[in-house]
Amino acid sequence: DAGVIQSPRHEVTEMGQEVTLRCKPISGHNSLFWYRQTMMRGLELLIYFNNNVPIDDSGMPEDRFSAKMPNASFSTLKIQPSEPRDSAVYFCASSLRGVTGELFFGEGSRLTVL
Amino acid sequence: AQSVTQPDIHITVSEGASLELRCNYSYGATPYLFWYVQSPGQGLQLLLKYFSGDTLVQGIKGFEAEFKRSQSSFNLRKPSVHWSDAAEYFCAVADPSGGGADGLTFGKGTHLIIQP
């Protein structure tokens, strides 16, 4: 079975540019999570969706960040405008809500903002 | 709010030696507990999990962990490490009231180095 698929794997952009990260969760999973990983702060939960509905976005650092899940098989995390401090690895994870709590992670999108 | 502490940022172990990685959590009740491993450039892979019952849980790759309620700990162990175990290890907790559906809170991780 295919796991969680993220794209792009690597993105280098200049400050002020728009960045869009994409995620395809595991088929049948109904919860999706976006995490950010940095050396200083570790893994931080940014936002999560249940049945395509955003449940908690309290981890989204600023209004520059937005996330959508238009259907059960696709989600985006957008940063506009990007800043150097947004440089991090962004992980998408999915799960089957209420079953085990186990998250299945994608391989991450490494973002570098110059 | 729940939190997870992994007191060791780095640990160096000789190949073939035993390993114990520490994890302490702060939560009002017993949370769901997890250990994940992250190899360089990769996502996180679940090693094992604890929800209830037997406090010693077995995972993949020869790892095990023991839940100790009195110490609010969930330490990860392996009797004999292999060079391929070199990676970053994360302890995580989830709120059981939500069935673990509200995401995981992770510790900062422990970087495991294996000496030949």
What confidence tens digit (pLDDT) does each residue in A75-90 have?
999 999 999 999 999 9
Strand, helix or coil for residue A21: strand
Q: What is the pLDDT of residue A97?
A: 75
Burial of B41 (0-12, 13-18, 19+ CB in 10 A): exposed
Residues of A in contact with B48 (CB under 8 A): none
Residues of chain B with pLDDT > 90: what percent? 74
What value does the mean pLDDT take over residues B17-32? 92
Backbone angles phi, psi at B8, to 5 degrees: -100, 115
Which of 9-48 (A) contact B at CB < 8 A? 31, 33, 42-43, 45, 48
Q: Which tokens sit at B54?
A: 């037997």
Q: What is the pLDDT of residue A14?
A: 97
CB contact under 8 A, A31 and B101: yes
Distance CA B105, CA B24 (A): 12
What confidence tens digit (pLDDT) does each residue in B77-86 have?
999 999 999 9
Which of 56-95 (A) contact B at CB < 8 A? 56, 91, 93, 95
Beta strands in B16-109 (DSSP E): 19-21, 24-26, 32-38, 44-50, 56-58, 64-68, 73-78, 87-94, 105-106
Cite the DSSP H helix spans in A49-94.
Answer: none
Q: What is the pLDDT of residue B100?
A: 62
Site of tokens 């401090």: A85
Taking 70 as the pLDDT cut, the residues of chain A under it are 1, 98-100
Distance CA A52, CA A95 (A): 12
Residues of A in contact with B109 (CB under 8 A): 42-43
Residues of A in contact with B90 (CB under 8 A): 43
What value does the mean pLDDT take over residues B67-72? 94
Q: What is the pLDDT of residue B99?
A: 64
CB contact under 8 A, B101 and A56: no
Residue A5 or residue B94, greater confidence: A5
